[in-house]
Amino acid sequence: MPDVDMKPTEPSKKEKKEEKKEEPKIEEPKSPLVEIKSNVALIDRAVSTIEPRFTQRVLRTLNALRKRIDEDVLRNAIEHVYPKDSSAKATLLSWLPAVSSHSAMEVDSAAPNSPPTGPSASPPTSEPVPETEVYFRLLILYQMLKSQTSYGKAKELANESLEKVHRLNRRSMDPLAAKVWSAVERVYELRGELAEARILFLAAQRTAALRHDSTTEAVLLNCLLRSYITYSLYDQADKLVSKTTFPPSAPNNQFARYHYYLGRIKAVQLNYTDAHVNLQQAIRRAPPPTIAPGFFQAVHKLNIVVELLMGDIPDRSIFRHKVLEKALVGYFELVRAVRTGSLSQFLTTVAKHSATFQTDHTHTLIVRLRQNVIKTGIRQLSLAYSLISLKDICVKLHLDSEEDAEYIVGKAIRDGVIEGRMIHEQGWMACKGAGGAKGQNAYGNNVAEAFQRRIGYCLELHNQSVKAMRYPLNAHRKELAAAEGAREREKELAKEIQEGDLDEDDLGGEF
pLDDT score, position 399 = 72
Angle between helices 343-352 and 329-340 (to 10 degrees): 170
420-446, pLDDT tens digit by residue? 777 777 777 777 654 444 444 445 556
- Given a cut of 60, is residue 117 above it in pLDDT? no
Helix (H, G, I), strand (E, B) or coil at 82: coil
Nearest to 376 by CA among 309, 443, 449: 309
Q: What share of the chain is helix, strand, coil (3-state, %, to 5)?
A: 70, 0, 30
Q: Name residues whose C-beta falls within 8 Å of residue 302's C-beta, 6 or more positions apart in sequence.
A: 260, 263, 264, 267, 279, 360, 362, 365
pLDDT at residue 490 in the model: 83
pLDDT score for 372: 79
pLDDT at 389: 78
| 4-18, 72-86, 313-327, 396-410: the lowest-pLDDT one | 4-18
Position 507 scores a pLDDT of: 47
Asked whether residue 477 carries a pLDDT value surpassing 60, the answer given is: yes
> How high is the pLDDT of residue 251?
86
Q: What is the pLDDT of residues 478-498, one digit of tens each?
A: 777 777 778 888 888 777 777
- List, for residues 169-223, the tens digit of each pLDDT value: 888 888 889 999 999 999 999 888 888 889 999 999 999 999 888 899 999 999 9
Provide the residue ranges of all domains of the chain, joining segments of one domain with +: 30-98+126-193
Distance between CA atoms of residues 376 and 398, nearest Å: 13
pLDDT in tens, 136-179: 899 889 988 888 888 888 899 999 989 988 888 888 888 889 99
Residue 481: the pLDDT is 76
What percent of the chain lies above the pLDDT cut of 70? Answer: 82
Say what the pLDDT of residue 494 is. 79
201 vs 390: which has the higher pLDDT: 201
- The residue-averaged pLDDT of 95-124 equals 53
User: Which of 57-66, 285-294, 381-390, 461-470 shows the lowest per-residue confidence on average (mean pLDDT)?
Assistant: 381-390
Q: How many angstroms separate the CA atoms of 194 and 192, rounded? A: 6
In the structure, what pLDDT confidence band is assigned to residue 27 with cuts at 50, 70 and 90? low
Arithmetic mean of pLDDT, 14-20: 51
Q: What is the DSSP letter of 116?
A: G
Percent of the chain with pLDDT over 90: 20
Top-confidence residue, 276 or 508: 276
Write the DSSP string, 282-318.
Answer: HHHHSPPTTT-HHHHHHHHHHHHHHHHHTT----GGG
Mean of the per-residue pLDDT values of the chain = 80
- Average pLDDT of the segment spanning 376-393: 76
Strand partners, 420: 431
Determine the Cα–Cα distance for residues 339 and 308; give it in Å rounded to an integer: 9
Which pLDDT value is given to residue 26?
52
Name the DSSP letter for residue 150.
G
Buried b (16+ CB within 10 A) or exposed e, 72-107: bbbbbbbebbbeeebebbeebbebbeeeeeeeeeee
Higher pLDDT, 496 or 44: 44
pLDDT of residue 120: 43
Query: What pLDDT is attached to residue 218?
Result: 92
Has residue 312 got a pLDDT over 80? yes
Give, for 174, the enclosing helix (H) or strand (E). helix 174-190
Lowest mean pLDDT among 10-24, 43-57, 274-288: 10-24
